[in-house]
Structure 1
Amino acid sequence: MAGRIPDAFIDEVRKKVNIVDVIGEYTQLVKRGRQWNGSCPFHDDRHPSLFVEENKQVFNCFSCGRSGSVFSFVMEKEGLSYPEAILTLAEKADIPIDHQLTAQAVQPIDQTTQAIYDLHAAAQRLYQHVLLNTTSGEKALAYLHEQRQLTDDVIKQFGIGFVPDDNVLLQYAKEQNLSPDVLQASELFITNDHGVMRDRFAGRVVWPIKTERGQVVGFSGRALDSQNTIKYMNSPESPFFTKGKILYNFDQAKNKIRQSGTALIFEGFMDVIAADMAGTPTGVATMGTALTPEHVQQLARVAQRLLLVYDGDDAGQTAARRAISLVKNHAQQLEIGVVYLPDELDPDEVRIKRGPAALQQALTQNIQTPVEFLVNAARTGKNLSNQGQYLAFLQEVMQTLQQATPVEQDLQLTKIANEFGTSKQALQAQLQQTKAAPSQTARQAKGHKPVDAFEDYMAPPPMMGGAYEAPIQQPIGQKLTKVEQAERALIMAMIKSPQVLSQVKATTGFAFVHPDYQLLMMLAAIYQGQHPEPFDLAQFMDFIQKPELNQIIMAVDRAYGDLTIEQEAIHDYLQIIMKEAPIAARIQTLQQRINVAKQQHDDTKLLQLMTELINIKKQHSG
């Protein structure tokens, strides 16, 4: 079940990675006896219900039911496949990873797609070589050094390159004997009306765009020629490059975001680089598009707080408003802040004009709450010395404040009263009137859309859905029948002992009453055939990779994992399952028929069924 990743590699990762250390990056764990305990990071866990067993390298939440190994934890928390989780943890443990293994194991892809990925990776290396080591790149390098104030180390870190006008990539692709179909599908070239192909980004400085795992899938290019009417150009949308699903620099920033808990969202690539140069390496940027739900969900897997760093112009302010609403709708657990930059400068301009220290201070100190930002944004485009526009400003502010906390309401009303000379009592009265007025939702139904959609931001979380919705299946209940207790004890013995498994399978007429245990018996047989070594709980759960079955396995292991396997006990379990289960089923059926007879007031039938039930129970007890 490990795909193309060798078992020996998986075992090496399993041995070098401690589940306590990994889960400890997401939630604080405290040692309690033989286990570690903490709040479950998959849901709002006010009474810590997550337990981690270090000796067995497994975890289990008694509240939401999630359980598994370190691999399954990372899979669910990061939204990764099983092979991707293995490789991610291997990177953490500094285990060397063969690039071919990464390409093949992460996601089975066809030869054409693999050729496209390889061509993009080669293009990035080639473009950077041209920039740093050839005369063709001297002008572009001077531009980056002098106007952008980037060092060679920063250029290398972010993979920046230059595409000359001599079709250097096209020549390379032909030398590699790549087919015309691959060249066309790669979107790295443009074909004119005469069928002549050339490098798409010729004459441009290019920034590579990478997936979360660092695979180059596109470029963003800036023209050096001031006469070029198309200043910026991005790779077009394609099956392997979707702007709404990729965040610039997420591959480099994700681990640092996880460590700090905070991600900064910028509008431009150079803003991300500027922040990194200023000592804040946790920035990402969208691809010239608005923030999407997919972007938010990516960030929610690694961050607890998002800081929006948008330009101070009208477009930037509008984008920030929309982002606030979007984040709250798709990841309510995330804290949101909005960074205010001086004089409507963008982050890179702050770094160049005022220095990295000034940018660092702005990114860490000039942080507004969503309420504060939306109140200030209500000023945009208004002459507040004009009474009518001042009243319009107040109306918009009250719509925002009616969803704010009492403390934020008091702070903002005090600030407005002091600034404009309006009595605080009058402002409080207007806020009360706003609360008593028809709801914002009702106005929206009549076609009036609020400017800031703040009600969406402050709305309570939905009962279902969202990034950390609990699984539908309930945790295994505490009240188990005698038959199911026997099933659990027997399946544990079978999983741990191939001899017991063979004995049970050879028992004529045996079958588990509950289908889940029958399935586990089948999986245990396959597992033991592939893993003759002593039983490993975490390894078995990785082999299963079914959350609902792993939840059962955790419950079974807690109850029977440490019991000694005895032949007499195995015999007793078999007897209970094979003899008492049919009787229990008959009793349950009779009880259901008795209830129906009672509802129908059929006394004759009721007496007959009651007599039958009593006789069965007498025989059984005897």
Structure 2
Amino acid sequence: MSTGRGIPEEVIEAVLRQHDIVDTVGKHVHLTKQGKYMKGLCPFHSEKTPSFTVTPERQIFHCYGCGKGGNAIKFRMEIEGLTFPEAVRVMAEEAHIPFEDGMGGQGGSPRDMELEQLLQAHEWTSKLYHYLLKNTEHGKPALEYLRSRGINDKAIDTFQIGYAPARWDTLVQFLDKRSFDLKVMEKGGLISSKQDGTGFVDRFRDRVIFPLHNRTGKVIAFAGRILGDGQPKYLNSSESRLFSKSRTLYNLHQAKTDIRKTRQFVLFEGYGDVISAWDAGVHNGVATMGTSLTESHANIMRSLADEVIVCYDGDNAGQAAALKSISILEGVGFNTKIALLSDGLDPDEFIQKYGAERFKSQVLDGAVTSVKFKLIYLKKNHILLEEDGKIAYIKDALEIIAPLPSPTEREIYLQDLSADLQVSYDSLKQECNELRQAMQKKAPAGDNKAKRWNNGRHKTGQASMPTLLPAYQVAERRLLFYMLQDEEVAQYVSKHLGDDFNIDDHAAIAAYLYAYYAQGKEPDASRFVSSLEDDRLEKTVVAIAMMDIPREWSFQELDDCIREIRRFPLVEQIKRKKEEMVSSERAGDFIRAAQIASEIIALERQ
């Protein structure tokens, strides 16, 4: 049986069985045991006191600060910026669980059929462009261009590089003849509609085509580099259900095997750099899609490795981008190094000029720590031949060194600074210690940013005091808590209360629980959460499942809760009737007031 997401339930259940919540969360959050819970600093918002809680028994997590919660699949979705199907597919692959989502088969929804159609169209389009590059007269100039850039035929085949001809409808005709819905193809970013709305045209024309894959190897988009002059130089597929620039890394599908072995990424800026490095024997390289590095990129990478070497262009723009990437990468807990390229070369140019071995030994093996890179970058902005410039550089450098938590690390950088500028080490150390003390005094009562486990990605205001819930809400949540852990409770509540919960979300959760147990399933909060497909309801269920109340129940307690739930609408009705009676008395309509009074008495008897 498939879920509404087109994924067989048995696959989801197998994924949840194979991915323990503590192991899954523990790769990103430092957890400590507190009774039956595991606690740590939330990776989704900035906090100093741990409010992020994992319950191994129920296989769920919940943050009392920001409200995020769910099971292991939900955690991977949030931390890596994945959709539900993407997260399940990745986790299934990691656990060697066979995964055929059945999209397009019997029981698949029209939405799944559309997704399957887009994936198939992208695969065929990739093969078409690759064929046109290698086997037609149209493709010869593009093939010569690639070879002139040092990209050989083996690399062209490995990366399935192609060519889109300088025609308006090559791909449109290709897809139309194969009965693809062109409106769906436009939504998927493969083609564009004409301005006058009379038809469609190819999105890519006279461009070298680089297929873009998701991490499981499916083609989901394309990047096209123009031949000759023209703008834009690079053009990506438009954002679609399949493709998001902020969550896609070029070559991750091929590089992930080597990345898992080495626990290291090499992060490049461009496709050409990745391809040249691959040909040079560097098989753990990826690149962003012509966009700046995002937190989603960093989280995806962090799930696979511990260290990253940022290998951006050696010019000013590349080095500025490398500097900007450091805080994002270290924010998710990466050990970050920066590769230094001489003469303003980019990695592709360096490999073509000096060869593979020198690139690996000099550039990658010689990569410096992020602190060292910051000091080198900073040094370029000061004129050290002048005393004022030297003093200003020392002041700025100490602001980088002073916050470092390790005394040994501070000492190494201070010694380097002393030797480089011929300044007394003792005076630098004294000034560094004074600056460190001043920084600690000024530090706000917030995050300790040196703690690499706390991502601190979102700032929050002061923690609010817990709100005291009305009695009927407490009763509803208590009933749902017991229903989550015992089918007998769900059957009793279904018989005596049904869907007469006062809060719509609680009524919806109860309805889902009735259906869940009707399918013969065992009580399992994690499994039930996966069946909901509603983010708000998922959060509510997790918050209820994490309530710290005794798990033992009695029919007397259930009856008390049901009575309180049924009582609330009557109390509200009485309140409204009393207001109506007062209004009638003020208007002089005493007969109506007397009628309302009798209605109030009847309601109070109920």
TM superposition score category, shorter chain reference: 0.5 to 0.7
The equivalent residue for 1:220 is: 224
The equivalent residue for 1:613 is: none
Tell me the amino acid that sits aligned with residue 557 of structure 2.
Y
The equivalent residue for 2:420 is: 419
The equivalent residue for 2:487 is: 497
The equivalent residue for 2:369 is: 369
The equivalent residue for 1:85 is: 87
Q: CA distance change for structure 1 residues 108 and 539 in 2, over 3 Å: closer, same or farther? A: same
Tell me the amino acid that sits aligned with residue 573 of structure 1.
E
1:192-251 deviation digits (Å, cap 9, x = unpaired): 99x99986655543212345674433323252xxxx234973226745376556443345
Tell me the amino acid that sits aligned with residue 324 of structure 1.
I
Q: CA distance change for structure 1 residues 505 and 231 in 2, over 3 Å: closer, same or farther? A: closer
2:531 to 525, 533, 543: 543
The equivalent residue for 2:4 is: 4
**1:235 is paired with a residue of what secondary structure?**
strand
Q: CA distance change for structure 1 residues 476 and 539 in 2, over 3 Å: closer, same or farther? A: farther
Q: CA deviation at 1:373?
A: 0.8
Q: CA deviation at 1:421?
A: 2.8
**1:466 is paired with a residue of what secondary structure?**
coil
- For 1:148 and 1:236, the matched residues in 2 are separated by 23
1:515-550 deviation digits (Å, cap 9, x = unpaired): 987665443223233x13444544323224634443
Q: CA deviation at 1:127?
A: 1.0
Q: What are the equivalent positions in structure 2 for 1:295-444 lying under 5 Å apart?
A: 295-296=297-298, 299=301, 304-325=306-327, 331=331, 333-342=333-342, 344-362=344-362, 365-380=365-380, 384-385=384-385, 387=387, 389-405=389-405, 406-428=407-429
Q: CA distance change for structure 1 residues 21 and 273 in 2, over 3 Å: closer, same or farther? A: farther
Q: CA deviation at 1:318?
A: 1.8
Q: CA deviation at 1:131?
A: 3.0
- For 1:422 and 1:168, the matched residues in 2 are separated by 67
Q: CA distance change for structure 1 residues 327 and 157 in 2, over 3 Å: closer, same or farther? A: same
- For 1:198 and 1:516, the matched residues in 2 are separated by 46
Q: CA deviation at 1:372?
A: 0.9
- For 1:501 and 1:354, the matched residues in 2 are separated by 71
1:525 to 506, 514, 517: 514
The answer to whether the Cα contact below 8 Å between 1:371 and 1:408 also exists between their aligned partners in 2 is no
- For 2:118 and 2:499, the matched residues in 1 are separated by 54
Q: CA distance change for structure 1 residues 526 and 284 in 2, over 3 Å: closer, same or farther? A: same
Tell me the amino acid that sits aligned with residue 346 of structure 2.
D
- For 1:460 and 1:433, the matched residues in 2 are separated by 22
- For 1:173 and 1:417, the matched residues in 2 are separated by 66
Tell me the amino acid that sits aligned with residue 24 of structure 1.
D
1:573 to 552, 557, 564: 557
**1:366 is paired with a residue of what secondary structure?**
coil
The equivalent residue for 2:26 is: 27
The equivalent residue for 1:128 is: 130
Tell me the amino acid that sits aligned with residue 323 of structure 1.
S
The answer to whether the Cα contact below 8 Å between 1:492 and 1:557 also exists between their aligned partners in 2 is no
Larger relative contact order (C-alpha < 8 A, sep ≥ 6)? Answer: 2
Q: CA deviation at 1:86?
A: 3.1
- For 2:561 and 2:304, the matched residues in 1 are separated by 46
Q: CA deviation at 1:485?
A: 10
- For 1:177 and 1:422, the matched residues in 2 are separated by 75
Q: What are the equivalent positions in structure 2 for 1:450-599 lying under 5 Å apart?
A: 466=457, 492=482, 496-497=486-487, 501-507=490-496, 520-529=509-518, 531-544=519-532, 546-551=537-542, 554-555=545-546, 560=551, 570-574=554-558, 577=561
TM-score with structure 1 length normalisation? 0.66
Tell me the amino acid that sits aligned with residue 161 of structure 1.
G
The answer to whether the Cα contact below 8 Å between 1:489 and 1:573 also exists between their aligned partners in 2 is no
Q: What are the equivalent positions in structure 2 for 1:101-180 lying under 5 Å apart?
A: 101=104, 108=111, 119-134=121-136, 136-137=138-139, 140-141=142-143, 144=146, 147-150=149-152, 152=154, 154-165=155-166, 168-173=170-175, 175-176=177-178
The answer to whether the Cα contact below 8 Å between 1:220 and 1:232 also exists between their aligned partners in 2 is no
The answer to whether the Cα contact below 8 Å between 2:6 and 2:112 also exists between their aligned partners in 1 is no
Q: CA distance change for structure 1 residues 385 and 491 in 2, over 3 Å: closer, same or farther? A: closer
Tell me the amino acid that sits aligned with residue 271 of structure 2.
F
The answer to whether the Cα contact below 8 Å between 1:83 and 1:105 also exists between their aligned partners in 2 is no
The equivalent residue for 1:272 is: 274
Tell me the amino acid that sits aligned with residue 219 of structure 1.
A
- For 2:265 and 2:427, the matched residues in 1 are separated by 40
The equivalent residue for 1:234 is: 234
Unmatched segments (≥5 aa) in structure 1: 442-455, 564-568, 584-622
TM-score with structure 2 length normalisation? 0.67
Tell me the amino acid that sits aligned with residue 523 of structure 1.
Y
1:262-285 deviation digits (Å, cap 9, x = unpaired): 443311112223344455444332
Tell me the amino acid that sits aligned with residue 210 of structure 2.
W
**1:127 is paired with a residue of what secondary structure?**
helix
**1:378 is paired with a residue of what secondary structure?**
helix
Q: CA distance change for structure 1 residues 37 and 278 in 2, over 3 Å: closer, same or farther? A: farther
- For 1:522 and 1:184, the matched residues in 2 are separated by 39
Q: CA deviation at 1:81?
A: 3.6
Unmatched segments (≥5 aa) in structure 2: 568-606
Q: CA deviation at 1:397?
A: 2.7
The equivalent residue for 2:575 is: none
The answer to whether the Cα contact below 8 Å between 1:325 and 1:457 also exists between their aligned partners in 2 is no
Q: CA distance change for structure 1 residues 493 and 509 in 2, over 3 Å: closer, same or farther? A: closer
The answer to whether the Cα contact below 8 Å between 1:256 and 1:281 also exists between their aligned partners in 2 is yes
Q: CA deviation at 1:315?
A: 1.9
- For 2:172 and 2:223, the matched residues in 1 are separated by 16
- For 1:76 and 1:41, the matched residues in 2 are separated by 12
Q: CA distance change for structure 1 residues 95 and 24 in 2, over 3 Å: closer, same or farther? A: same
Q: CA deviation at 1:121?
A: 4.0
Q: CA distance change for structure 1 residues 506 and 293 in 2, over 3 Å: closer, same or farther? A: closer
Q: CA distance change for structure 1 residues 519 and 191 in 2, over 3 Å: closer, same or farther? A: closer
- For 2:130 and 2:385, the matched residues in 1 are separated by 54
The answer to whether the Cα contact below 8 Å between 1:27 and 1:39 also exists between their aligned partners in 2 is no
Q: CA distance change for structure 1 residues 416 and 265 in 2, over 3 Å: closer, same or farther? A: same
Tell me the amino acid that sits aligned with residue 276 of structure 2.
A
Q: Which moved more, 1:570-579 or 1:58-67?
A: 58-67
- For 2:426 and 2:21, the matched residues in 1 are separated by 53
